[in-house]
Structure 1
Amino acid sequence: MATTTPTPTTASVSPLTKQLARFKEIQVGGAQYLGRLTQGDREALPLLVQVGKLIDRIYIRQHWSGNEALHAHILSQEPHDVKLELGLQLFKGPWGLDEEKFIKSIKEEDKDGHVVQKIHIPHEPPQHGNYYPDDIKKQEYLDWVAGLEGQAKIDAESYYHVVKRDTSTGQLYTVPYSEEYKDFLVPASELMKQAARLVSDQSLAKFLKSRAEAFISNDYVDSDVDWLRISKDSALDVTCGPYENYTDKMFSIRAAYEFYVHARDFDSSAILAKFSSRLQDMEDQLPVDELYKTKDLFPPAIVTVNQLYSGGDVAVPMTAAYNLPNDERPIKIAGSKLVIIKNVQEGKFEKVLRPIAEQVLDSEQVQKVQFEAFFQHVLMHEVAHSLGPHFLVHDKEKKVRTALEEYHSAMEEAKADIAGLYAVGLLLKDGTLAGGPDAESFYMTYLASAFRSIRFGITEAHGLGQAMQFEYLKEQGGFAYDAETRKFRVVMDKIEEAVRSLTTRILVLQGDGDKQKVKEFVDRYGIISPEVKGALEKLENLGVPVDVYPKYRILEDGTVMSKN
């Protein structure tokens, strides 16, 4: 990052300044996390960081069709605009929270003095990302897919193909990721192979090699399975590939590339591993008819890590945990893996959640907000992604995500939150969580965290999902607002039943796959009420950060020598 004094360029300074003020820097990585790494692991780190930077460039291309040109233009300007470069680094594009555009379209004068629009930036990010032609209509895509058969249809609905338009005929066709991003995937593949020869753990080496091959073949199933089978003894943990579907807001199909390299936290991993063995038990106790429950679930592997570096689809708000893969094929073979990023969670709690709680919660309940309650609910949120129906109860061949389309991501995040909280209640009652936070701490920390998520904006899946939960629980009496103090509180004699009711409601909506009923639910509850809006404005006015962003120590303390 350049260090020269920022000067105004094409940025709309006020929106950019406002966006950056919402985030607090935290130190990520560093030598204190590297004690268990072997010399080979340490030598592999610079290569892996280079992979992460290539993955970052892939995601910049995936985010929006004009994104690469915009990044190149901004980074080529002299003197450098430090704030603008930081904005692009954090958001991966020209839109911040609430999809607010903070960079104006780029215009220049030609040799005759006429203004020419060089890069037009839409008012908001396109729903189709850069996975489909910019002029595509939703129904056109659906009609095209309906007319396909065999492999052509599979590719058209694939996580790992983009859709293009033939400029001469106007017809749609698919291109595999291995071809679309070949300029980045080929060098990333070579770097992964080099890193595989250096790392000490052979299961990690196997994943790095098979993922390198997947970049070229476009077949990710085997390497996903290898990732799931990385040994719990590996001190280095790497996640790399196309996973999440949030950038494809039109259909929630196409996967975005992301990259993480972590140091394993062995002590915390041992404590949290007990949750994985309870997965089927939690599924069996969901408050829904048996039709909506899944049998023979694979217990997810659970590991706790400390992040060293990340790239790709890792725009703020920072990811504190993830449960992957999303592709159902490797899940059927080897289950899923839950990765809890402890140092990021600690940063979020101290810099964001605690200050929020002090401003929005009843003064008597603030003291019950605890890091361990936050930490364990994030864990249960990720575990809960595995719970409930993933295929429609009346059509076992149709995925929930396919039926709900643009509503799927928000509903899935809401499901994971509320079913995770419901599961916490089960584990408290049977003694699994004995000795840790009590029910009051979980519910009150959850209430404070609701404001943290809603501040991401209800155009974002997590924020919308949390807004729906908040309004439903308030309607059921689980949350209450004091107009005199302008503070919120948990109503302990009503919250448990409210959580149970909402868990049932969301699981049934997902399993039935009735998009119209889901729309009605989202329209009714996915709102910002006046009292919540007032609390959000108070947090904004007081300068309480919305989230954190990373400063990677691994790039600065000599651990990684290459900074290309």
Structure 2
Amino acid sequence: MNSDNFKYTDERFADIMMLRYRLENFDSLSLRQKKLVYCLSQAALFGRDITFDQFGKYNLVIRSVLEAVYMNYEGSRETDDFKAFEVYLKRVWFSNGIYHHYGSDKFKPGFTPQFFINAVKSLDCRVLPLADEQSVDELCDTLVPVIFDSDVYPVKVCKKSDVDLVQSSACNFYENVTQKEVEDYYASMKKTDGGDLLSYGLNTTVVKNDGKVSECVWKVGGKYGAAIEKIVFWLQQALNVAENDKQQNVIELLISYYKSGLLRDFNEYCIEWVEEKDSLVDFINGFIEVYDDPLGLKGTWEGLVEYRDIEGTKRTKVISENAQWFEDHSPIDPRFKKKQVNGVSANVICAAMLGGGEYPSTAIGINLPNADWIRAVHGSKSVTISNIISAYNEAARGNGFDDEFVIDEETKDMIRKYGDLCDVIHTDLHECLGHGSGQLLLGVDPDALKAYGNTIEEARADLFGLYYSADVKMVELGLLPDKDAYKAGYYSYIMNGMLTQLARINKGHDIEEAHMRDRALIARWCYEQGKNDNVIELVGNNGKTFVRINDYEKLRVLFGCLLAEIQRIKSEGDYLSAKDLVEKYAVKVDPILHDEILTRYERLGIPPYKGFINPVLLPVTDDAGNVIDICVDYSETYTQQMLRYSKFYSTLV
């Protein structure tokens, strides 16, 4: 294992810092478990091209052309144009396409169109992804406006309330259809099916040909079939080293779903996956989260391979064992509470491989499945990813952030003492219980909140975690050391929602991403509602703005009130109230404050975004060719990894 001189931080470019994560205690796994991790990791990596294509119809061709130039260009690599070209390529790799992974805007190249054209034309045409009978000139004519013209496919996911979201978004989930046609199509389908509990549209592209709207299914033999066949191959290899019969059945059901493309098969797989809780190794593989679709229907392909952090899971076990208590004591209307919380499974895990929508940028916690009815009847699985959190925390130490943005030494000391723990506890509560809490009223469409659904759902889970972080129950359960520890989490959350997350937004832009909107909504709503009692204050000092929290107990009351309203909106499917809350508190940015935060961040030199380089898993064989171990290597650079992935895991270009 190449772990000598392991460093969490790696290279930086644009607004991004690359990190590494360590596979803690990987050697303690059995050989069978290591083989399972390896097979599942191969399946996770073969979905990469799907994610690229989902995020824009030209992404795969652009990536291929950029890589061809990078590897074959014979001109000077010291010019400003080439250096800017290299940064652009790294950003495309990072974001699985030409749109910012968080903000959704198209990247602005720092090199000229003429440099790009000349570079492409200088190459042997055999290294370019030319379509049948396509010339190099025609290839350039197609790609130049897509890359350089800010008016051509400008944003991946449009969130504006006054436009056709489908036609204004560049994500590749729809073809030749309008938003109304898509909504009418699925409304008709639900009516025809009698409201069957399916995740309508999760694994399809909606198209219109000859005036008729239909779906292209993502499956073996369908769209993305070449990639899915490779995923299935490695899932089949994983069957041979599954830990138990139940896990083997889970993998078989996923394979069946990939072959059929039927959402009923997906439900069956999800139910079996939720109920399989004994294995040390687990995985996520498929079309899962819907944040990258403006209508919140289409699942981005993602992969994650994990193994349990046994020590850390002791903490989440305490939370999951008390799930009914948390549900019963929630400040929401009793009509929206679950009378019986079923099947809550919560683990702390180590990520072993990231893929698709979880790579290179990844979540620190996940709760699945997303179907409300499966959560209600069968439960959910929640994970907090300990080695990813550790990497983030290690990278942040000593970077000057607290000194720049935290109001006083007393608050800084509080955050240094309790901040990391509060972040973990909030993530645990958000994922383990928040997403699975509450219930829809009978007959409410799970998609009723439309484009605002993701923001409302994330706010609901965040508020659940915030409200309970301050409860004396957390001390009684041994999860927090004292009754005031929660204040570190409250301060950091409000500071982020009102101030510091603005560093992630380009000047003059609105807040677009669902998680950022959720944090802004909560912080700004509490600020406005608490003005009479001066709960939260924005304080100016030497030209800098700081957050001061004057009453933490009243802030908790405000979190509870907003949680009650957010749950009502979700439970009743109140689209208009969701729209009003989000548009009023979560979208617009104060330009003066924004300029200030950008300037302060720039002076610190802290990239606002971070992502990860995967470790390399290497099979070790004996003289007879039998695998006797899986070793972990951390020495691969970001560029080496991306070029290797394009060479060995490309299936669609």
Query: Could you state the TM-score of these two structures normalised by the residue count of structure 1?
Result: 0.86
**Residues 254-263 or 44-53, more deviating:** 44-53
Relative to structure 1, the CA distance from residue 521 to residue 114 in structure 2 (aligned partners, 3 Å threshold; closer, same or farther) is closer
Deviations 1:490-532 (A, max 9, x none): 2235322222222223222323333222222222211334446
How far has the Cα of 1:320 moved from its partner? 0.3
The equivalent of 2:192 in structure 1 is 150
Q: Which residue of 2 aligns with 1:304?
A: 348
- Aligned residue for 1:465? 518
Which secondary structure state, in structure 2, belongs to the residue aligned with residue 314 of structure 1?
Answer: coil
Please state how far the C-alpha of 1:556 moved relative to its aligned partner: 7.7
Distance 2:479 2:215 in 1: 53
Per the TM alignment, residue 46 of structure 1 is displaced from its structure 2 partner at its CA by 3.4
| 1:156 Cα offset (Å) | 9.4
How much has 1:377 moved relative to structure 2? 0.6
Aligned counterpart, 1:405 = 450
> 1:379 matched to which residue of 2?
428
- Listed as ranges, the gaps of 5+ residues in structure 1 are 1-17
User: What is the match of residue 10 of structure 1?
Assistant: none
CA shift at 1:172, angstroms?
0.8
Distance in 1 of aligned mates of 2:136 and 2:229: 40
Percent identity among equivalent residues? 17
Deviations 1:386-426 (A, max 9, x none): 355552x4xx22234x2211111111111111121112223
* 2:66 pairs with 1:74: yes
Alignment correspondent of 2:538: 481
Residue 292 of structure 1 and its aligned partner are, at CA, apart by 2.6
Alignment CA distance shift 1:537-1:287 (3 Å): farther
Find the counterpart in structure 1 of residue 46 from structure 2.
54
Cα gap change, 1:143 to 1:239, in 2 (>3 Å): closer
Of 530, 545, 559, 2:631 maps to 559
Specify the code of the residue in structure 1 equivalent to 2:270.
D
Cα deviation for residue 26 of structure 1 reads 1.8
Residue in structure 1 matching 2:407, options 362, 370, 375: 362
**1:41 counterpart = 2:33:** yes
Report the counterpart of residue 504 of structure 1 in structure 2. 564
- Provide the rounded CA distance (Å) in 1 between the counterparts of 2:201 and 2:405: 44
Q: Which residue of 1 aligns with 2:333?
A: 289
With over 3 angstroms needed to count, the CA separation of the structure-2 counterparts of 1:210 and 1:427, relative to structure 1, is: farther
Q: 1:385 to 1:59 in 2, by over 3 A?
A: farther
In structure 1, the residue corresponding to 2:202 is in which secondary structure? coil
SS at match of 1:367: helix
Select the residue among 65, 83, 88 that pairs with 1:84.
88
- Kindly indicate whether residue 241 of structure 2 is the aligned counterpart of residue 204 of structure 1: no
Which residue among 563, 581, 585 is the counterpart of 1:525? 585
Tell me if the contact between 1:36 and 1:235 (Cα under 8 Å) persists in the aligned partners. Answer: no
2:92 is paired with a residue whose SS is helix
Distance in structure 1 (CA, Å) of the matches to 2:14 and 2:202: 35
CA distance in 2, matches of 1:69, 1:349: 36
SS in 2 for 1:288: coil
Contact 2:466 2:556 in 1 (8 A): no
SS where residue 304 of structure 2 aligns? strand
Aligned partner (choices 194, 197, 204) of residue 161 of structure 1: 204
Aligned to 1:5: none
Deviation at 1:40, TM superposition (A): 1.9
Deviation of residue 114 (structure 1)? Answer: 12
Alpha carbons 2:54, 2:173 under 8 Å: kept: no
Q: Which AA in structure 2 matches 1:323?
A: N
The residue type paired with residue 107 of structure 2 is: F
Q: SS of 1:358's equivalent?
A: helix
Q: CA deviation at 1:536?
A: 4.3
| Range with bigger deviation, 67-76 or 110-119 | 110-119
* Other structure's SS at 2:20 match: strand
Aligned residues of 1:300 and 1:383 also touching (Cα < 8 A): yes
Tell me which of 178, 186, 209 is aligned to 2:229: 186
- 1:124 pairs, out of 130, 145, 155, with 155
Instruction: Kindly indicate whether the alpha-carbon contact (under 8 Å) linking 2:17 and 2:609 is maintained by their aligned counterparts in 1.
Output: yes
Relative to the length of structure 2, the TM-score reads 0.75
- The 1:243–1:267 alpha-carbon spacing in structure 2 relative to 1, beyond 3 Å, is same
Following superposition of structure 1 onto structure 2, how do residues 267-286 of structure 1 map, counting pairs within 5 Å?
Answer: 267-286=311-330
Partner of 1:98: helix, strand, or coil?
coil
Structural mapping, 1:99-118, within 5 Å: 99-102=104-107, 116-118=141-143
Change (3 A) 1:540 1:380: farther
**Aligned residue among 160, 165, 172 for 2:213:** 172
Q: 1:173 to 1:434 in 2, by over 3 A?
A: closer
For the pair 1:538 / 2:600, whether they are aligned, the reply is: yes
Give the Å deviation of 1:210.
Answer: 2.4
How far did residue 260 of structure 1 move? Answer: 0.7
The answer for the alignment partner of 1:440 in structure 2 is 487
Is this contact kept in 2: 1:29–1:554, CA < 8 A? no
> Deviation of residue 342 (structure 1)?
0.7
- Cα distance in 2 between the residues matched to 1:112 and 1:380: 55
The AA in structure 2 aligned to 1:305 is I
CA contact (8 A) 2:615 2:632 kept: no
Amino acid in the other structure paired with 1:549: G
Letter in 1 for 2:231: A
Q: How far did residue 459 of structure 1 move?
A: 0.7
Contact 2:182/2:206, CA 8 A, preserved across alignment:
no
> Which amino acid letter does the alignment assign opposite residue 488 of structure 1?
V
How many Å separate the matches in 1 of 2:280 and 2:437? 33
Contact 2:502 2:597 in 1 (8 A): no
Q: Secondary structure at the match of 2:330?
A: coil
Shift in Å at residue 211 of structure 1? 1.6
User: Which has the higher Rg, Structure 1 or Structure 2?
Assistant: 2
d(CA) in 2 for partners of 1:385 and 1:248?
Answer: 23
Matched residue, 1:13: none
Q: Which residue of 2 aligns with 1:549?
A: 611
1:92-103 to 2 correspondence within 5 Å?
92-96=96-100, 97-102=102-107
Pick closer, same or farther for the CA change 1:424–1:156 going to 2, 3 Å.
Answer: closer
Amino acid at match of 1:518: A
SS in 2 for 1:198: coil
CA shift in 2, pair 1:444/1:294, >3 Å = same
- Counterpart of 1:409, as a letter, is N
Q: Which runs of 5+ in 2 are unaligned?
A: 1-10, 73-84, 122-134, 148-152, 159-165, 506-510, 620-629, 634-643, 649-653
The letter of the residue matching 1:94 is I
The 1-side partners of 2:395 and 2:524 are apart by 26
Name the amino acid aligned to 1:124.
Answer: V
CA distance in 2, matches of 1:427, 1:449: 25
* Distance in 1 between residues matched to 2:373 and 2:268, nearest whole Å: 10
2:41 partner SS = helix
Given that 1:352 and 1:546 are in contact with CA atoms closer than 8 Å, whether structure 2 keeps it comes out as no
Change (3 A) 1:349 1:399: farther
Contact map agreement 2:54 2:172 (CA 8 A) in 1 = yes
Q: What is the letter of the counterpart of residue 589 of structure 2? A: I
| Separation in 2, partners of 1:53, 1:316 | 11
* In 1, Cα distance between equivalents of 2:413 and 2:437: 33
Deviates more, 1:220-229 or 1:411-420: 220-229
Structure 1 residue 490 corresponds to structure 2 residue 549? yes
Match of 1:220 among 254, 266, 280: 266
Instruction: Work out the CA distance in 2 between the residues paired with 1:26 and 1:111.
Output: 37
1:25 aligns with one of 18, 26, 33:
18
Kindly report the root-mean-square deviation, in angstroms, between the aligned alpha carbons of the 2 structures: 3.2
Partner amino acid, structure 2, of 1:125: K
8 Å Cα contact 2:346/2:382 also seen in 1: yes
Count of aligned positions: 538
- Indicate how the Cα distance of structure 1 residues 528 and 213 shifts in structure 2: closer, same or farther if over 3 A, else same: same
* Secondary structure of 1:305 counterpart: strand
Cα 1:69/1:487, change in 2 over 3 Å: same
